[in-house]
Amino acid sequence: MSATLDVRDLCVLFEGPPQPSPIDGSVRYFVVDAGTQSIPEVAPGHRIGLPGVTFTVNAGACLAVLGTSGAGKSSLLRTLAGLQPQGRGSISVNGRDVSALRPEQRSVVYLHQEPVLFPHLSVLENVAFPLTVRGTSRREAERRGFEMLVRLGVGPVAGNAATALSGGQRHRVALARALCADPAVLLLDEPLASLDPAVRRDVRAALLEARAMSGAATILVTHDLDDAMAVATHISAIGPFGDLSVPASPADLLREPPTLAVAQLLGVFAEVPGVVERTDDGASRFRWAGGAIKAAGVAPGSAIACVRSHDVDVSAAGSAEAPVLTVTGRRDAVHEVMLDVSDPSGRLVTMRVPGTTAARVGDRVQITLRHARIYSTH
Amino acid sequence: MMPRASLIRSLSFVALLLFATAPLLLLIVTSLARGWFYPAAVPETIDTGAWRELFTDPARRDALVNSLTLAVCTAITATMLALPLGRSAAFSTRGVRRAVALLAFAAVALPPVALGIGLQLTVLTLGLGGTLFGVFLAHLIPTLGYLTLVFLGVFTRWDRRLEESAATLGASEGARWRRVLLPLLRRPIADALALGFLVSWAQVALTLLVGGGAVRTLPLDVLAMLQAGQDQRAAVGALALAIPALLVLAATRSAARNTAAVSA
């Protein structure tokens, strides 16, 4: 089924008591009662998590929603599926407002992080389940279910017990079952989290196959940019105030993250501190320890430049017209190098540079930024 | 030579076996012995008359039928009530869960005589004193307590994602119960029915207090015969009481085993 998912000003609620973030201990809620400084309950056991979410996912497209742990990614999906109450706002599937409908009436299928197969049914019975509950005859449901299993490469396990599958097979069977429901919207809740690399590759491939087969509008929530890039057509990020960035293509998002918070969430940028100055000709430039770069449209004052490793050139001192920096630390990652450099005054900056960079600790280098996204921080 | 630890283990096992089976064996022999008096080591006459009487004597047959009727009805009704009650309590807030657990535990833990006197007043007020229905209501209270605790435990460990998956795959609430919940709860339901049957089957105090002697059941019959010195008949009644318990134990020996939907 192909349909468009349209979400307007949706207030997503968090279930249960306020939970401190496992990272910094902060409590992540965005509506606090000014008088009591408490987080009010807007429904029994529910508090406002994401105050106003708006986006559209077209049929066949896949939106990846990035966010840190506890940001509200799963709550967003559970709200869209009707598995938890929502605040204000609307959820429309193909123009029909489904906000008040029960989960089974929405044509929205939600896949949990761990595939949940019915343990008392065989694989084939699991896959036929969404058809039989809608009144399709058992024989026809199993025929179509088997076809779906074959298309997703798990035909040979059709007769197995649902409990006798490998991790990758469980994901593929759960996807086949979801596609048998012919959903208008498919919600994937971190399907690739906590998988080992081999299973992860297998499940990624299965997700792409499922996307190709289904005309559903798909939402994938994840905290992993690689997963989002591999599967999604668009990416959006939950910001520090529970705001969702405008969906952008992966390439656009990486080139121009809309906010510093989104850039930080993407986790692929070096954050270079500096100052934006006005030049004599009225233009703006960003000055940092290693030189300067144009900063069109950024207000003068302190700022941070977000730079990816492939936009950085590192050369030996004296080969370019730029301040000389000393390498004080080097940590090699898979595709890039984290280089700690300091200027003569001792200011320290950690740069992400290409993996081919030869600079060692103690070397004197000059660094040129070819492209940077600059954010005012004052 | 057998190691000391192994010897102690073997002796303990034999002692436990004797402890568990000796009374039962003695009951079997007594139920078949007419006129077995001290100092005779073995019965002089073997007689199955008391067993025949259990099914042919109208008064004893009525007691047996009453006991069976009460136990079956109580087990089914309590299971039907405790399942949704335990489920909704398990999925409620911690406060509600604790309150339900406390009430259920009170129904189990209160001495049957104390509970019976309270129930007697209530049942008499309702005009149900001395009726089978009044006794059934009285049996329902402790049974419901036991079974609510059982289902509270089951649903506290229940994987709710199964129902969520079924719902988003298009299953209505009824379909979720029929296709997912009930098949997965088959074992806990069987265990609950068995437990409910046994709780009612063995009730004496509540039956006596609420039934007021007008409702005769097998346990009351056994007590009456013991008081009258009819040892053989009492032994037959006691064995008749024990048989369902043993059958239920055999059928649900793996009662503690979890269903696949409940994590260990």
pLDDT per residue as tens digits for the range A167-176? 888 999 999 9
Q: How many CB pairs under 8 A join A and B?
A: 69
Interchain pair A118, B166: CB under 8 A: yes
- Which residues, including other chains, have CB under 8 Å from residue A249's CB and lie 6 or more apart? A233, A234, A235
Query: Distance (Å, rounded) from C-alpha B260 to C-alpha A119?
Result: 6
Please answer whether residues A54 and A8 qualify as being in contact, where contact means their C-beta atoms are separated by less than 8 angstroms: yes
Please answer whether residues A268 and A306 qualify as being in contact, where contact means their C-beta atoms are separated by less than 8 angstroms: no
ipTM: 0.83
Q: Which of A75, A78, A79, A104 has the highest number of chain B CBs within 10 A, making it the mutation to test binding with B?
A: A104
Interchain pair A83, B167: CB under 8 A: yes
Interchain pair B170, A177: CB under 8 A: no
Query: Distance (Å, rounded) from C-alpha A189 to C-alpha A195?
Result: 13
Please report residues of B whose CB lies closer than 8 A to that of A82: 167-168
Distance from CA of A200 to the nearest CA of B (A): 22
- Nearest CB to A112 within list B165, B170, B175: B165
Distance from CA of B175 to the nearest CA of A (A): 7
What pLDDT, on the 0 to 100 scale, is given for residue B151?
95
Please answer whether residues A4 and A51 qualify as being in contact, where contact means their C-beta atoms are separated by less than 8 angstroms: no
Range in B20-29, B115-124, B126-135, B190-199 with the lowest mean pLDDT? B115-124
**Residues of B near A (CB-CB distance < 8 A)?**
93, 159, 161-162, 164-172, 175, 179-180, 183-184, 260-261
- Nearest CB to A118 within list B162, B168, B170: B162
Query: Distance (Å, rounded) from C-alpha B167 to C-alpha A82?
Result: 9
Please report residues of A whose CB lies closer than 8 A to that of B168: 81-83, 103-104, 106, 108-110, 181, 187
- Nearest CB to A129 within list B93, B161, B169: B169
Q: Could you identify the residue written with the tokens 């193909």? A: A94
Query: Distance (Å, rounded) from C-alpha A149 to C-alpha A142?
Result: 10
Interchain pair A119, B260: CB under 8 A: yes
**Nearest of A159, A137, A138, A155 to residue A146 by alpha carbon:** A155
> Does residue A45 sit at the B interface (CB-CB below 8 Å)?
yes
**Nearest of A16, A7, A14 to residue A31 by alpha carbon:** A14
- Name the closest residue on chain B to residue A114, using Cα atoms: B161
The residues that bridge with B145 in the sheet, in sequence order, are none
Please report residues of B whose CB lies closer than 8 A to that of A110: 164-165, 168
- Name the closest residue on chain A to residue B172, using Cα atoms: A104
Would you place residue B1 in the very low, low, confident or very high pLDDT band (cuts 50, 70, 90)? low
Interchain pair B166, A133: CB under 8 A: yes
Distance from CA of A150 to the nearest CA of B (A): 20
- pLDDT truncated to tens, each residue of chain A (378 aa)? 667 899 998 988 888 766 666 666 666 666 666 666 666 677 777 778 888 889 999 988 999 999 888 788 889 999 999 999 888 899 999 889 999 999 999 999 999 988 999 999 999 999 999 999 999 999 999 999 999 999 888 889 999 999 889 888 899 999 999 999 999 999 999 888 877 888 888 888 888 888 888 889 999 998 888 888 888 999 998 877 788 888 999 999 888 888 888 888 888 899 999 999 988 888 899 998 888 898 888 889 999 999 999 999 898 887 667 788 999 999 998 889 999 999 888 888 999 999 899 889 999 998 989 999 999 987
- Name the closest residue on chain B to residue A104, using Cα atoms: B170
Query: Distance (Å, rounded) from C-alpha B161 to C-alpha B167?
Result: 10
Please report residues of A whose CB lies closer than 8 A to that of B164: 81, 83, 103, 110, 112, 116
- Nearest CB to B170 within list A81, A82, A133: A133
Query: Distance (Å, rounded) from C-alpha A64 to C-alpha A221?
Result: 6
Whether the pLDDT of residue B95 is over 70: the answer is yes
In tens, the pLDDT along B36-52 reads: 777 777 777 788 888 88
Interchain pair B169, A130: CB under 8 A: yes
